[in-house]
Structure 1
């Protein structure tokens, strides 16, 4: 079983790595790229938190529900952040900041709720490993995208145009 999961993980990760290059070349549609990235994420998390088949069957629907809610809150939070405050009154800025505090509190509440729900399926150690594995996966994807040909060497490079 462990060999299967490791093989699945490696296959999905290798399939997802050229996503940035394929995008630059126009080779894959956005939805296909997202699907491949999602498959790589599933394989990565499955291996890192050592899910059993029974756990995986219960975990993934719960995790997908959690990430959809978390993604929605993040999207709403981003929409509240103005590009500039120049045209806003002090009251508008205050209201925007207060709304962002409410959304951030909702994120914390969501995480606490799902922490409890995840523990019904996983051990507390696996839940902790899940949070770490999510960050590691994101870092790995960002690192690979940043290292693709044609990308500036650092975030500041290419901004002087």
Structure 2
């Protein structure tokens, strides 16, 4: 995996480990999601027709991506902690590696399907703007996390 692909995953998982400390993951996720929707709406300047077709595709993708990246990967990450990793047998390690690779493939296939669906409802320029806007949003989210951590 390229570092460019790892960074958003790391940001995503880091943000949720922070929120898990508060015990309010779902509430925090909904706040982030609302902030993201507002941010993307402003950045993309979608027409009403585009928005009507875009948001169901985006929300379905976002929910499935969350399921794969957070809920599924969370179980793998627990097993990768030092004490657990040291106690894994070779067979268990092969199985875990296979599960991680399978999930990575699912994420790739989901992204590919998502892009194909987006191409049916948005012009290429807006899809590129979406990608840039999502990256900008992730940077803002990380900056807020850093700012909050520095205040505490």
- Which residue pairs with 1:7 in the alignment? none
In the TM superposition, residue 50 of structure 1 has moved relative to its aligned partner by 2.1
Where do 1:1-161 residues align within 5 Å? Answer: 33-74=28-69, 75-81=71-77, 82=79, 83-84=81-82, 85-148=85-148, 151-152=149-150
Mapped to 2, the partners of 1:32 and 1:94 lie a distance apart of 36
Q: What is the aligned residue count?
A: 126
Which fold has the larger relative contact order, with Cα–Cα distance below 8 Å and residues 6 or more apart in sequence? Answer: 2
What secondary structure does 2:121 align onto?
Answer: coil
In the TM superposition, residue 37 of structure 1 has moved relative to its aligned partner by 2.7
Structure with the higher helix share, 1 or 2:
2
Of 43-52 and 30-39, deviating more is: 30-39
Of 123-132 and 93-102, deviating more is: 123-132
| Higher alpha-carbon Rg | 1
Mapped to 1, the partners of 2:76 and 2:45 lie a distance apart of 38
Mapped to 2, the partners of 1:113 and 1:104 lie a distance apart of 14
1:146–1:114 distance in 2 versus 1, CA, 3 Å: same
Mapped to 1, the partners of 2:27 and 2:63 lie a distance apart of 18
In the TM superposition, residue 62 of structure 1 has moved relative to its aligned partner by 1.1
In the TM superposition, residue 152 of structure 1 has moved relative to its aligned partner by 4.1
Mapped to 1, the partners of 2:144 and 2:29 lie a distance apart of 15
- TM-score for both structures, normalised by structure 2: 0.73
In the TM superposition, residue 117 of structure 1 has moved relative to its aligned partner by 0.3
Structure 1, gaps ≥5 residues long: 1-22, 154-161
Could you say what the CA RMSD is over the residues aligned between the two structures, in angstroms? 2.4
In the TM superposition, residue 104 of structure 1 has moved relative to its aligned partner by 0.2
- TM-score for both structures, normalised by structure 1: 0.69
